Amino acid sequence: MIGPPGAGKGTQAAFLTQRFSIPHISTGDILRAERKRNTNLGRKAASYLDKGELVPDELMVEMIESRLGLDDARTGFILDGFPRTVPQAEALDAMLARLNRPLQAAIRLDLKDDDIVARLVERRVCPRCGRIYHLRNNPPSTDGICDTDGTRLYHRDDDQEATIRNRLKVYRTQTAPVIDYYDKQGLLITIPAHLTIDEVQKRIVTALREEAGTL
């Protein structure tokens, strides 16, 4: 899944992981969990996360390589937030070639900047299960509380407007070239992300069916 911050990658990946019974691998979620546990990687990543800058490619590639080596990723996986630079995309291709499991599709969610800011300033996330909410578009049944496990929701540190604007700048300069990279490989599926969550889901599944013919 590729797309600007707030386009809905995590929301859609959570649906796809259930629909296809394959793991959702979110590099942002892994980094935030590492930081919370105060691991070596978490400490290295912390300042990049706070500023909305990209964590260096070497760290990210190493992290993904070890994650894809786990048993649950043998029959497939959804990558959310990786690759985010052309060198990361090249490293992923090399990894998947070694495993003889080429990428099936690159799903791009496309959304305008103003919609992005509106989504992120009102996003709330469950710190326990990772479920994603929005105060107006996708609210929990009880204010501030996760429907799944009753945990108090939080507002991500990088969802302040100034950091969001920087994340968008970083996306345009460093991540947008990855779109061309997959377009040239014939793997790119672009989905308009301003539609409702359900409509985006339907379009992704239809596009994947057309692309693979077997899903």
**Catalytic machinery residues:** 9, 84, 123, 156, 167
Of 16, 25, 31, 146, the one binding ligand AP5 (CB under 6 A) is 31
Type of residue at 210? E
CA gyration radius, the chain: 17
Looking at 9-17, 94-102, 146-154, 206-214, which segment touches ligand AP5 (CB under 6 A)? 9-17
Residue 108 or 119 having the CB closest to ligand AP5 = 119
Distances (CA, A) of 212 to 45, 205, 209: 36, 10, 5
- Work out how close the CB of 195 gets to ligand AP5 at its nearest, in angstroms, rounded to a whole number: 6
Helices (H), 2-107: 9-20, 27-36, 40-51, 57-68, 86-98
Of 15, 133, 181, 182, the one binding ligand AP5 (CB under 6 A) is 133
11 is a contact residue toward ligand AP5 (CB under 6 A): yes
How large is the greatest C-alpha to C-alpha distance in the chain, in angstroms?
Answer: 47
Looking at 95-103, 140-148, 177-185, 194-202, which segment touches ligand AP5 (CB under 6 A)? 194-202
| Phi, psi of 206, deg, nearest 5 | -60, -45
- Please check whether residue 16 is in contact with residue 204, taking contact to mean a CB–CB distance below 8 angstroms: yes
Q: Which residues bind ligand AP5 (CB under 6 A)?
A: 3, 5-11, 27-28, 31, 48-49, 52-55, 60, 81-82, 84, 88, 119, 123, 132-134, 137-138, 158, 167, 193, 195-197, 200
